[in-house]
Amino acid sequence: MKERIASILSNALERIAAVRSMKGLEETRVYILGKKGTLSQVQQGMRDVPKEEKPEVGRILNEARGAISAALEQRQTALQAEADREAVTAVDLTMPGRTLPAGGIHPLTLVRDEAVRILRRMGFALAEGPEIEDEFHCFDALNTPTDHPARNEKDTFYFDNGKLLRTQTSTVQIRAMEHLSPPVRIVSPGSAYRRDDIDATHLSVFTQIEGLYVNEDVTVGDLKGTLEYFLKSLFGAETAVRFRPHFFPFTEPSFEIDVLLQAAGQAPKWIEIAGCGMVNPAVFEAVDREKGTREYGGLTGFAFGIGLERLAMIRWGIRDIRLLIENDARFLDQFQA
């Protein structure tokens, strides 16, 4: 048995050294170590070895298997090195490399990140919430009456289980107040969904950034000062800002915000850019009822919301909102970092 093992080992090492391809090496491995391989057959014969010789024969057998496995691994490494060398023999390493096209940041990401940076410098913390919402967080807590058009299936995407795709990121404001004790100062960028017909100025999914500040004695002056600073930081110190009275169910009083801007390629004009207002006390009452507390009773605050698509379209003179979702490289190349 010992002589047979030694003979198999010698022949195996010679056979492995002579192999010239990965396929041949695998065939050699199976021939020697496979289930019906030469060494495996010897191992099956261990049952016929006298008991007193089994320890030594077993040791020799294991050493042979180890030596063969090591030889196979070394030959595999050598064959791979040869293949690598052959692969580059026709390559001129002195030729200059090809310049790969540089990636760019999407315009919506650019304007979102800048808006968040400005608001974080003002003390706003970043907050987020789910895009699949319930009616309480999307409508009820925001003082939206049951007959409001936004709650109609023609305007909102509902699921069979009663859940819906949020129509605004104001839902994050409610969730933030549910989990935080005042004062609260948060900004929440994210996607919102409405059943709008897609055209040059409307999409069924769009991106908002909303802010909320709640504390004692927050006033309309705080609201105006915050948003004027934000918009002038975004569009330039000379930007004119005006507030027009409006109506939103979740703020009272409410305002639309216009800025006097010269969009690229256009004459200066007033452009509606955001909605805002002082948080309606009914919103605080709804949050306190849900929490079972009176944390927000007697406090005041303001909230605002801005569409990031509108900001991007104004900043870069984009005439068609659909360009922001088409992933046309010719369009996106203009915003390379």
For position 10, what pLDDT does the model report?
87
Q: What is the mean pLDDT of residues 137-157?
A: 90
Q: What is the pLDDT of residues 37-72, one digit of tens each?
A: 888 777 777 777 777 777 887 888 888 888 989 999
In DSSP terms, 53 is beta-bridged to none
Other beta carbons within 10 Å of 230 = 23
190 to each of 39, 56, 125, 146, 170, how far by Cα in Å?
65, 72, 14, 25, 10
Other beta carbons within 10 Å of 40 = 13
Other beta carbons within 10 Å of 173 = 30
Average pLDDT, the chain: 89
From CA 315, how far away is CA 337, in angstroms rounded? Answer: 16
Q: What is the pTM of this model?
A: 0.68
Q: What is the pLDDT of residues 241-251, one digit of tens each?
A: 999 999 999 99
For position 267, what pLDDT does the model report?
78
Q: What is the pLDDT of residues 199-221, one digit of tens each?
A: 888 889 999 999 999 999 999 99
Q: Residue type at 301? A: G
| % residues pLDDT > 70 (the chain) | 98
In DSSP terms, 256 is beta-bridged to 244, 275
From CA 33, how far away is CA 186, in angstroms rounded? Answer: 67
Q: What is the pLDDT of residues 293-310, one digit of tens each?
A: 899 998 999 999 999 998
Look at residue 337 and tell me whether its pLDDT is greater than 60: no
